[in-house]
Amino acid sequence: MSLTFPNFNAAKNKAKEVLEGNLIVEPPVVAQKLAESYELDVRYYIFKLEYKEVAGFIDVSKNTIAVNGEDSPARQNFTIAHELGHYLLGHDLDGTEYTCLFRDPTKQKNTPIEQEANCFAANLLVPTMMLQRYLDRFSFADDEQLSRIFGVSTDVIRFRRLYL
């Protein structure tokens, strides 16, 4: 069954559940470790020319998340978290709504399941409580510094600050 609207609350709650279940209270949240705790292998590939624009995808038949080995570690962390989101939110990964994650967000299909996976990833890697705690303690921290602490791109920090 395909979703009509994204369920952002379900995505946020799942991210919280994963952090609590894995006893994670401090950044950086390393998505690869979390994926491995759910028996998923994370593999890094140099994609062929025709797939250079792909950031990653999940192959459930092999329990593997494939990641673009040429992306930055921060970008890879988000890719893994995004694909883990698809997996844990029970998305139909053989359905037509699911696509690879692309490096350029403007190329991404904006289906409800893609939006849910992005919401899950942003909340998993930059949990509200942790970000708030850093902003309270280090009020002069800029997006660049926060991105290093949280192991994400500055785009993710900017996006998360909008929703505090």
Q: Say if CB 33 and CB 151 are below 8 A apart.
A: no
Minimal distance, residue 137 CB to Zn ion, in Å? 33
Q: Please, is 74 exposed, middle or buried when counting C-beta atoms within 10 Å of its C-beta (0-12, 13-18, 19+)?
A: buried
Query: CA 109 to CA 19: how far, in whole Å?
Result: 27
Does 114 participate in binding Zn ion (rule CB under 5 A)? Answer: yes
Alpha-carbon torsion (76, 78, 84, 86), positive or negative: negative
Minimal distance, residue 76 CB to Zn ion, in Å? 14
Does 54 participate in binding Zn ion (rule CB under 5 A)? Answer: no
Using CB under 5 A as the criterion, what x/- string covers residues 91-110 for binding Zn ion? ----------x---------
CB closer to Zn ion, 95 vs 138: 95
Options 15, 29, 34, 117; binder of Zn ion; rule CB under 5 A? 117
Minimal distance, residue 48 CB to Zn ion, in Å? 20
Query: CA 57 to CA 55: how far, in whole Å?
Result: 7
